[in-house]
């Protein structure tokens, strides 16, 4: 950790434990950007695991912060609905994008089924060699011995290439996918108005509509667009619903894996004994990958809406209330995970984490994400002794996407 970062965390700890509980709001993006949200969640887990925040930028909301309570909410999709909204921020009512992650059964189940073949074991096996080849090309193009941005050159490039493969998207235009993903997940108010942002997304819709029209009349292909164009549940979607599901697949497959690739390298640098252990035994990659995904928790939360009054621990949640499951906190719950703040690449039961959610919305791409991370680390270890992180990374200003904008690194062959 860089000088100063320790002091900032110490101050945050003092603030977290001194403030009146009823004023605690864990949704502040600034705390995620500064990586100081940890003690606030620690206090909630210890003193008020189901916590009501009456006032926030996003209005009133409940926070669920312990592992087992999060599971209880996540698997009860009848009482805790996903319909219409799955993040703490409510969607803009004048720009609604229906997507199956924000739907309840039966429509959710049917649309999810339409795209699920993309991650069948057969398809994953086919994708493995393509991803390995692309990853190798990206890594071979990196400047050894010079400082460069790992996020841009490796994490973004790799996940963007994978998305392009999944959509069978025109290769030369693939950075458009990164651009659209960023418009959706990050605050772009410094470079464009809200209207301009929406216009960009409509262009995304128009671009993908051209691809749809080409594929709907061809033999069913093995890409996400063909799958939606040929399945009963998705072939007659309204334009905004098509755009919504595209947004889901673009963001779902992009930011999350990207931030795990960056977070894994950071975790290894902050824990040099683990990097050493990995170099000595690369077969540990298999258990390291889920540990990275737990440690990073690329999506800090998912949100539900209560469909009836319901008791959770000592609290009564009212029908219509917003309920936020803080995966980032559950993954550090000492009652569920031993020594949860430590990054341990050979931890027993490393898949015991909340980062992919649970229940009917559990991440469709979980095995694909794990495969991608495994390949990246296999290829990195084959090539170089050490990739050094050159200072604190710049983190994203968001309490939803937990990730990195830049991270300077240097490779030692
Ligand atoms: C480390 C990487 C990833 C993480 C941490 C992650 C995390 C998540 C989480 C937390 C959910 C919601 C779970 C819930 O509400 O219970 C989700 C759903 C989803 N993810 Fe991922 N994801 C990752 C990679 C991917 C990839 C590579 C894809 C690409 C295909 C993908 C596609 C989806 C889709 C389509 C859904 C919606 C599922 C549904 O509503 O039924 N994800 N993911």
pTM of the model: 0.96
Distance 366 CA to ligand 1 centre (A): 7
pLDDT in tens, 384-398: 999 999 999 999 999
- Counting from 1 in the atom list of ligand 1, the atom nearest the Cα of 224 is 30
Ligand 1 and 98: CB distance under 6 A: no
The pLDDT of residue 376 is above 60? yes
Ligand 1 and 260: CB distance under 6 A: yes
> Ligand 1: which residue has its CA nearest to atom 40?
101
DSSP secondary structure string, 265-315? HHHHHH-HHHHHHHHH-GGGHHHHHHHHHHHH-SB-EEEEEESS-EEETTE
The pLDDT of residue 4 is above 80? no
Query: Average pLDDT for residues 106-114, to the nearest whole number?
Result: 96
- Counting from 1 in the atom list of ligand 1, the atom nearest the Cα of 259 is 1
The pLDDT of residue 2 is above 70? no
Residue 167: enclosing H or E segment and its boundaries?
A: helix 157-167
Nearest CA to 98 out of 226, 204, 306, 246 is that of 246
pLDDT in tens, 62-92: 999 999 999 999 999 999 999 999 999 999 8
Distance 298 CA to ligand 1 centre (A): 10
pLDDT in tens, 152-200: 999 999 999 999 999 999 999 999 998 998 888 777 778 899 899 999 9
pLDDT in tens, 34-73: 999 999 999 999 999 999 999 999 999 999 999 999 999 9
State percent of the chain over pLDDT 90: 91
pLDDT of residue 268: 98
Please list the residues that pair with 381 across neighbouring strands. Answer: none
pLDDT of residue 1: 46
For ligand 1, mutation pick of 85, 168, 302, 364 (most atoms within 8 Å of CB): 364
Ligand 1 and 112: CB distance under 6 A: yes
Cα separation of 257 and 154, whole Å?
11
pLDDT in tens, 349-359: 999 999 999 99
Ligand 1 and 156: CB distance under 6 A: no
Burial of 334: CB neighbours in 10 Å, binned 0-12, 13-18, 19+: middle
pLDDT of residue 253: 81
């Amino acid at each position: 950790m860089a000088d100063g970062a320790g002091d900032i965390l110490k101050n945050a700890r003092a603030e977290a434990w001194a403030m009146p509980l009823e004023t605690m709001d864990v949704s502040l993006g600034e705390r995620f950007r500064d990586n100081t949200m940890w003690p606030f969640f620690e206090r909630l887990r210890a003193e008020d695991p189901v916590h009501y925040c009456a006032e926030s930028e996003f209005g009133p909301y409940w926070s669920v912060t312990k592992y087992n309570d999060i599971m209880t909410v996540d698997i009860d999709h009848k009482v805790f609905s996903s319909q219409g909204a799955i993040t703490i921020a409510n969607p803009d009512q004048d720009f609604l994008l229906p997507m199956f992650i924000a739907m309840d059964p039966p429509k959710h189940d049917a649309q999810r089924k339409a795209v699920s073949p993309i991650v069948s074991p057969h398809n994953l096996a086919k994708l493995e060699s393509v991803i390995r080849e692309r990853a190798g090309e990206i890594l071979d193009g990196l400047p050894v011995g010079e400082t460069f941005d790992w996020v841009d050159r490796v994490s973004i490039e790799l996940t963007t290439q994978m998305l392009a493969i999944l959509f069978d998207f025109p290769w030369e235009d693939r950075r458009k996918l990164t651009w659209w993903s960023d418009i959706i997940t990050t605050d772009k108010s410094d470079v464009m108005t809200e209207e301009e942002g929406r216009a960009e997304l409509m262009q995304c819709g128009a671009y993908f509509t051209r691809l749809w029209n080409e594929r709907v009349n061809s033999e069913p292909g093995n890409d996400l667009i063909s799958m939606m164009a040929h399945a009963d549940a998705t072939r007659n979607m309204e334009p905004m619903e098509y755009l919504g599901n595209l947004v889901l697949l673009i963001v779902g497959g992009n930011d999350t894996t990207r931030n795990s690739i960056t977070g894994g390298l950071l975790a290894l640098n902050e824990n040099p004994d683990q990097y050493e252990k990995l170099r000595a035994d690369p077969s540990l990659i298999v258990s390291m990958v889920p540990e990275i995904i737990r440690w990073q928790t690329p999506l800090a939360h998912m949100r539900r809406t209560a469909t009836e009054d319901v008791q959770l621990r000592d609290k009564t949640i009212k029908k219509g209330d917003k309920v936020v499951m803080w995966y980032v906190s559950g993954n550090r719950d000492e009652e569920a995970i031993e020594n949860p703040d430590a990054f341990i690449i050979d931890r027993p039961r490393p898949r015991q984490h909340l980062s992919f959610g649970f229940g009917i919305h559990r991440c469709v791409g979980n095995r694909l994400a794990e495969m991608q991370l495994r390949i990246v680390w296999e290829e990195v270890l084959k090539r170089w002794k050490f990739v050094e992180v050159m200072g604190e990374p710049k983190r994203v200003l968001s309490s939803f996407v937990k990730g990195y904008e830049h991270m300077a690194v240097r490779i030692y062959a």
